[in-house]
Structure formats: C-alpha cells, structure tokens
A and B are shown apart, each in its own frame.
Chain A
C-alpha cells in the first residue's frame, strides 16, 4: 500500500493517492494532498473541503453536485453556487479532486 509522509507521520493511500483512513485526515494532510494536486488552497477551497467532510460524516457519501453547489452558494454568495465556479477551484472536477483533498474515498460510477 503506498503511503505519504506529512509532518513526520505516514498515511496510507490507495494507488490513486486517496487517503485510506478518513479519520486520520487533518488540515496539514489536506494541504499536502492539495500540493500534490497542484491546487493552491484559499479560504474558498477550504469551505468546499470542510463541507464535503461534514456531509460525508452525515451521509457516508460525498454530496451530489447540486447539493454541493447549493451549500456553497449559501456560504460564499449565490454567484458562486454553480459547478463552473467549483471547476475553477478544482479543475480536475469538484467530485474527484476536492474529495481527494478532503480525505474522502473516490466517488465511483458513471461520473
């Protein structure tokens, strides 16, 4: 199993770099994963990441795109509540890239 080293501690990931143990995640790990993804984290990025983690905690799945855009629209302003804005934040796609940074498993299926 591949690992990443952050702050002197090792964390297991899958082949694609998604964290294996959701509970091990912290902001430092998130920041490290963001650098790997070449995403420069701003407060807006963290809003998305934190919402993903909260939602996952409640529902054991990442939020659907409409759920996410609506929540972000409420937090950051209606003009930002759309997938175009989310793609600007996470160019490889909010579902996969933001989930990875948030330490969530990769969403699977026809997506």
Chain B
C-alpha cells in the first residue's frame, strides 16, 4: 500500500464548486467479485452470455416491481439542482459524479427501451443502447455513489437518487458483475453471522477481554453477555464495535449504560451484526435474509426489546424496513413475525436506537454523569446520512438530529455544531458509505471526504474542536483512515457512547 498516487484536495476557507474535469474519475474501478463470492450470494459468477438482453429484462422487472423507480426515471427535468450537492462531485470535479449525470447513465438506456420516443427516435431524446462501454461506466460510477441521498434533499421532484444507484447495482449483480467488497461481506454475514467473519469462540474471547479491561479501568465489574436467554434486551450492533478502535469505546459505553440502568441485556452470536449491506446493492432477498437472523435470535433468546447500536445504515434498515421485512414492529404477518410481535414489550419502540435508550435514562436522571470528565474534549457532531435522511428517533420530527446532540450536551461541557448547510438533513456523507469503504476506492474516499473536512476545519479553527462524535461504524472507519490525509489526527474520531462512557459514574451491581 504505497503512498497515494493522486492529488489530495486542499482545504479552502470558503468551499467552492470545482471546475468540471471530464473523466477525472473514469479510471476508478473497484475490484470485482470472483465467481465463488458472487455465487455464494446467489448471483451469476461472471458476465452472462446474453447480458444486454438480461440487463434490460431485469430493468423491466424492477420497473414493474418498484413504481418509485419508474417515477424517478421519468420525473427528472435536468434542472441541475443536484449537481453541486454531491460530495463526490465536489471532491473530484468529474461531471459524471453530478447526480443527474450519474443517473443519466441508466436513464438514457431506460428511454431507449421503455419509452415511445426512445424506441423510435433515440437520437432525438438522447436514448442509448446498453453497450459494454455503458455497462462499464455503470460499474465505475455506481460504485462512486454512497447512496447518501443528499442530492435528493435538494431535488425539486424529490427523486431518490440512491434508489437509482441501488437499481443499477442490482442489475449489474443479476448479470454477474458484482463488487468484491460488498458481496464478500454479504456471503460472510450469511455464513458466520457478522460482516467480519468473527466466529462465536472469538467473540466470546473478545467480550471477556473487554470485561477485564473495564474492571481494570473502573474497578467495577461490568458484563458484556452473549447468547443469554431470557435477557430483557437484545443489542444488535455492528461487528466493527467488537473489533476496531474507536468503535469498541462505544460498545463499552453501551455496556456501562445497561449496567447502570440495571437492565439485563445480551448480544447474539447468531446475529452479531447490525449492518445490512443488502441495502447497498438494492437486493430485497439478501436484505431480508440478513434481517431474519435478528428475528431468529430474538425468538430464540426470548427478549422483550431490540436495541440497535451505533450503525448508520443499519438504523435505516431497522427503522424503515424491519417491520415489513421480518416483523420487528408491526407489518409482516407470517407466523414467526406474529409470534415476535406478541413476545416484544409494546411499551417500547421496536426497534429502539441506543441513543433513544440512553437519552431517556439521562432525562429521567437514572444515570450519574460527571461532565467534567470530558473537559479535555471540544466536541462536534457528524450526522450520518442514513440516520439523517432515512430514519428518525424519538417522537418528534428531527429527533434523529436532536437526540444525539442532547446526549452529547448532557455528558460533555464543550459542544459546537458545524455550519448549518453541512449538518442535519443537509449533512455531508463521510465519503465511505454505501459500499465504498474499501481500500481499492481510497481515492474516491479521500476526495469525497472533502466537504466534511472543510466544515470540520472551520470549527477546528474557530472553536478548537478536537473530537468529532458520530453514530455510524462506517463513518468511524472512514474518518479514521482519511482524516490523516487532511492533516487531522485519527484520535479526533469517536462515538457518542464513547463520550457517555467517559462521563458515566459506575456503581457496583446491587
């Protein structure tokens, strides 16, 4: 892994829309999945013989299944409101990273095959055949979109561009062209139970080690239970929380909160993963299979509540899709879903975010907090895209923005928000979401982080911010890797529950 061979963008005092540089990122091609990786997830191992026909058939299939997809393809008037909203365009200047142009790669083929004008007068309406060159561009540019949906916020027609990227990836997978990073993980989580491939014994060993660490640090025995039948709460958290820094600091934070609240909880070795990359490739069956592991674990362990840890896209899947996917929350109506709905305690949201859980305890004064323990930190908060634009928390609009910030202010004395146009529903993606968090896309990741880095730089200069808190495992890993390229220390990155962990005062279990 040699030094980068690309130019690292300079941080500017005033963010500017870059001059267009055609094909600046045309050389980017994420590693493709091998045949065994593809086949393990149920896709063809390599490009199928009659791929053009199959791709168009698949597009027709998706158009029939998802009315939204058809509306989004038809509705765009090329007004350009989205052009300068994408962090990848702002960081690279490649015009195909303007959301409208990235979507046009599919839209032009759609027009050719599914509209009257495109079928008979293709040149007149810019309709294109699906050539190998167009197919390669799909692969190239649909893996330079993190499905963050910032452009959708600014689209006057409300076009969900992420859904078009997902459809593009779904069509590619269906004809044998998949991405190694995402599809390898999708195989692992279905085989082993988590994205890392962490087997049960390793998980047990890791959790026991963490219990020792907490006791050595605090003098209090705090447990991290695994597969404990009859526990009140099942915690579903990203497997990175077991493995990496700073992620593990938040896991320790959750454990301390459960301990102090006196609520029994457990992790599950069968469902040791909140992340669900099925969302990233737009594949309903895969997304459901992964979610089913969580339902199985909840039924097996007999828990009353399901709480989700700090993972951005997992919370979107949990909050927006778990109900109809598997029956966590009302919606699905197969026998196991009904059984689960009867088992879960209706007094609590199903599912519940760990921030909702902690916020409630803090408000009720259940936790004893020493805010000064965080006085060495001057904190800002990075909103993660899938939480901000694909879900909600609490019982008020915007709760997903308010609750994490309120937690931070209740456990730390120094907090400063970044500029208004870069937070809340207008937040910039970390640059690594949606299946981009892989070493072979490091150029895309570094450049795509530019808008967030510029916003951070302002609060670093103005307020001496030295800690950016967040609630997403991908964001944490991405910033840890790319912030040093911009001269920031990786120790500035951390979780909201890392701050809680620092400030919470423990007492021995009664």
The interface residues of chain A lying within 8 Å CB-to-CB of B180 are 15
Selected contact of B439 from candidates A16, A37, A67, CB within 8 Å: A16
* Partner among B210, B245, B477 whose Cβ is within 8 Å of the Cβ of A110: B477
Contacts of B1 in A (CB 8 A): 37, 92, 96-97
Contact between A65 and B239 (Cβ–Cβ < 8 Å)?
Answer: no
CB-contact partner of A59 in B188, B202, B245, B473, under 8 A = B202
- Taking the complex as formed, is B345 at the interface, i.e. its CB lies under 8 A from any CB of chain A? no
List A contacts of B195 (CB < 8 A). 108-110
Which chain B residue has the least Cβ–Cβ distance from A106?
B439
CB <8 Å contact, A93 and B209 = no
B242 CB within 8 Å of chain A: yes
Closest 4 CB pairs of A and B: A109-B195, A110-B473, A59-B202, A110-B240
B324 CB to closest chain A CB (Å) equals: 25
Q: List 29 A-B contacts (CB under 8 A).
A: A16-B31, A16-B439, A59-B202, A64-B198, A64-B209, A65-B244, A66-B206, A66-B209, A66-B213, A66-B245, A66-B248, A67-B206, A83-B245, A107-B197, A108-B184, A108-B185, A108-B188, A108-B196, A109-B185, A109-B196, A109-B239, A110-B238, A110-B239, A110-B240, A110-B247, A110-B311, A110-B473, A111-B243, A111-B477
- A50 an interface residue at 8 Å Cβ cutoff? no
Does A76 reach chain B (CB closer than 8 Å)?
Answer: no
A66 neighbours in B (Cβ, 8 Å): 206, 209-210, 213, 245, 248
Instruction: List, in ascending order, chain B residues with CB within 8 A of A15's CB.
Output: 31, 180, 440
Least CB distance from A70 to B in Å reads: 6
Interface size class of A (residues with CB under 8 A): 20 to 34
B194 contacts chain A at the CB level, 8 A cutoff: yes
Which residues 465-487 of B have a CB within 8 angstroms of A?
A: 473-474, 476-477, 481
How far is A96 from B439 in the complex, measured between Cα atoms in Å? 10
User: With A and B bound together, what is the CA distance between A83 and B246 in angstroms?
Assistant: 10
Chain A hits for B198, CB < 8 A: 61, 64
Shortest Cβ distance from B391 into chain A, in angstroms?
18
Chain B 223-240 interface residues, beta-carbon cutoff 8 Å to A = 238-240
Tell me the nearest residue of chain A to B182, going by C-beta: A108
- Bitwise, A26-41 to B at CB < 8 A (1) or not (0) is 0000000000011000
Write the nearest CB–CB distance from B258 to chain A, whole angstroms: 19
* B181 engages A108 (CB within 8 Å): yes
B13 interface contact, C-beta 8 A = no
* Interface residues in chain B, defined as those with a beta carbon under 8 Å from any beta carbon in chain A: 1-2, 31, 180-181, 184-185, 188, 194-199, 201-202, 205-206, 209-210, 213, 238-240, 242-245, 247-248, 275, 311, 437, 439-440, 473-474, 476-477, 481
Q: In chain A, residues 57-111, which have Cβ atoms closer than 8 Å to a Cβ of chain B?
A: 59-61, 63-67, 70, 83, 92-93, 95-97, 107-111
**CB pair A107 B440 closer than 8 Å:** no
Out of A64, A65, A83, A108, name the residue touching B197 (CB < 8 Å): A108
| A95–B244 CB distance below 8 A | yes
Q: How far, in Å, is B161 (CB) from chain A's closest CB?
A: 23
Q: Is the CB of B481 within 8 A of A93?
A: yes
Q: How many Å lie between the Cα of A64 and that of B243 in the bound state?
A: 4
Q: Chain B's nearest CB lies how many Å from the CB of A44? A: 19
Cα A84 to Cα B194 in complex, Å, equals: 27
Say yes or no: B202 contacts A61, CB within 8 Å.
yes
**A38 neighbours in B (Cβ, 8 Å):** 2
Contacts of B197 in A (CB 8 A): 60-61, 107-108
Q: A111-B240, A111-B477 are in contact. Are A64 and B248 (CB under 8 A)?
A: yes
For B474, what are the chain A residues with a Cβ–Cβ distance below 8 Å?
110
**A96–B194 alpha-carbon span in the complex (Å):** 18
Please determine whether A64 and B206 come into contact, CB atoms closer than 8 angstroms: yes
Which B-chain residue is minimally distant from A92 (CB atoms)? B1
Chain A residues with CB under 8 A of B209: 64, 66-67, 70
A56 to B123 alpha-carbon distance, docked (Å): 58
A111 touches B206 (CB 8 A): no
- Chain A residues with Cβ below 8 Å from B439 are 16, 96
B213 touching A109 by the CB < 8 A rule? no
Smallest Cβ distance from A84 to chain B, in angstroms?
8
Q: How far does the Cβ of B443 sit from chain A's closest Cβ, in whole Å?
A: 15
Tell me the nearest residue of chain B to A37, going by C-beta.
B1
Cα separation A66 to B31 with both chains bound (whole Å): 30
Which residues of B sit under 8 angstroms from A95, Cβ to Cβ?
243-244
Q: Is the CB of A110 within 8 A of B275?
A: yes
By a CB distance below 8 angstroms, the chain A residues around B238 are 109-110
Rounded to whole Å, the gap between the CB of A82 and the closest CB of chain B is 9
Task: Give the distance to chain B from A9, nearest Cβ to Cβ, in Å.
Answer: 24
- For A15, give the chain B residue with the smallest CB separation: B31
A-side contacts of B184, CB under 8 Å:
108
A29 and B213 CA atoms in complex are apart in Å by: 35
Give chain A residues whose Cβ lies under 8 Å from the Cβ of B201: 59
Q: Given A109-B185, A110-B437, are A70 and B213 also a contact pair (CB < 8 Å)?
A: yes
Residue in A16, A97, A111 whose CB lies within 8 Å of B244: A111
Inter-subunit contact A109/B275 (CB<8 Å): yes
Determine whether the beta carbon of A60 is less than 8 Å from that of B206: no
| Chain A neighbourhood of B205, CB < 8 A | 59, 67
Q: In the bound complex, what is the Cα–Cα distance between A109 and B334 (angstroms)?
A: 31
A61, A63, A92 pick with most chain B CB within 10 angstroms = A61
A65 touching B245 in the complex, CB below 8 Å, given contacts A70-B213, A92-B1: yes
Q: Is the CB of A60 within 8 A of B31?
A: no
In the complex the two chains form, what is the Cα distance from A110 to B240 in whole Å?
6
